[in-house]
Amino acid sequence: MTKGLVKILASAAMATAAFAVFAAPGFAQDKVTLTYLASQGWVQDAEQTLGKKFEEQTGIAIDYQIIPADQYFNVLKAKLNSGEAPDIFGGQSGVTDLKVQYNVEKNAVDLSAEPWAKLEDPLIAAQSTVDGKLYGMTYWDTVSSAWVINYNKTLFAKYDLKVPTTYAEFKAVCQKLLDNGIQPVFEPISDGWHHVLWFPEVGPRFEQATPGLADALNANKATLSGNETMLADLTQLKEMYDLGYLGKNALADAFSDATKVMATGQAAMVVGGTAFNNQLKTDYPDVNVDDYGYFVIPLADNQMLNVNPAGPTMFISATSPHIAEAKQYLNFLVQPENMQYFVDNTPLASNLPFPGVKNKFGPDLQAFLDAHKDQRGTVYQTAVTYVNPQWMDIGKDLTAMFTGAMAPADVLASIDKRRGELAKAAKDPAWN
């Protein structure tokens, strides 16, 4: 959590006063339905409930159009290019993505003057800003959420296992679990995106091993290929798959089954957000969330906490005939009572990057975050340009690596190649 946000959250009175600038919404004279296109998992049930409340108060309806993750960017690009853009579209923030994936300067509305714009956490807002203009609102728990390994404390205690701090220790933990008939790690590869987390989320470790690497990559003065820490990460991930640590059905498993697998003890670990135990409790009320803990992904001997100021973000289409109404919806969502409802009723959220929200940090999560306050860094899909836009392609490469069609070094070379292509398409001067 940033110090600035901590200071803001400390004053509920100040937060309430800050949001008092929002005018009470009134009914639209003509019935308006806003189309809102988003990838699966980006629009939570609580937001859709708030959307109904918004319609009751304003007469403006929200048509949520949810697209499977592996198809979303193709669908969105087709709509943007054909002039059939929705009123609101979702996208991952990050300055590179804003330029390469969405071309926000052409396709999105400048939101810099909106009442909430100066209240959003500055680090998060920066990831939705191009040339000083804010184009998106990040309605996501980017403040406290990090992709970490969630583990079953009961199973660890049963087999006398300790939280690993090196890959060798992690491998020993996995082997001990496997020897006792427990799937060590649940890794759902079929979704196309989840297994990618094992690589760029370890970016702080890459940076620790080679200080200044992200800047060198962004300046086209370095490549992923040949980086020993990155190669170790992928080589170890491949070894985990080969040894059966990711499960017999990893290629077919889906992330939607993660809570079931963890709640039943079928698997001992899964890469999930720091609020994963909240989702466990929601799906399986009898689960004791105190039986589940966290540790950072230890590939390449990583002990750095992976922080990502970017996340799912809402943009208003520049061609929308209902820009005023879309702005009204975004203003509605960030009213303190609505944000609190979202956090309280969204299992995978513990906070939002705005003042006036009471977080849901449990003692374990707070202790985990405190323990890493001096050991943290930005994930590479955000710190390094032209990585996040190829997320699903990296997923395909890693799947090919698991099945033997590519070697770890080939994956790094493939990412380098696509980075160059994306950079040249964006007319990045470092590549010209």
pLDDT, tens digit, for every residue of 395-425?
999 999 999 999 999 999 999 999 999 999 9
Res 251: pLDDT: 97
100 φ, ψ (degrees, to nearest 5): -85, -45
Res 30: pLDDT: 73
Q: Is-contact 338 104, C-beta < 8 A?
A: no
Question: Thinking of the domain 3-143+310-354, which architecture would CATH place it in?
Answer: 3-Layer(aba) Sandwich (3.40)
Res 29: pLDDT: 56
Tokens of 184: 């060590």
In single-letter form, the type of residue at position 153 comes to K
Question: Thinking of the domain 148-307+370-427, which architecture would CATH place it in?
Answer: 3-Layer(aba) Sandwich (3.40)
* Residue 214: C-alpha distances to residues 73, 181, 209, 221 (Å): 25, 41, 11, 10
Res 173: pLDDT: 98
Res 93: pLDDT: 94
Collapsed DSSP state (helix, strand, coil) of residue 84: coil
Res 27: pLDDT: 52
Q: Is-contact 197 380, C-beta < 8 A?
A: no
Collapsed DSSP state (helix, strand, coil) of residue 41: coil
Model pTM score:
0.78
Which stretches in the chain have pLDDT values below 70? 1-29, 143
d(CA 268, CA 278): 17
State CA 175 to chain mean position distance. Answer: 29
Q: Is-contact 193 42, C-beta < 8 A?
A: no
The CATH 3.40.190.10 domain(s) of the chain lie at 3-143+310-354, 148-307+370-427
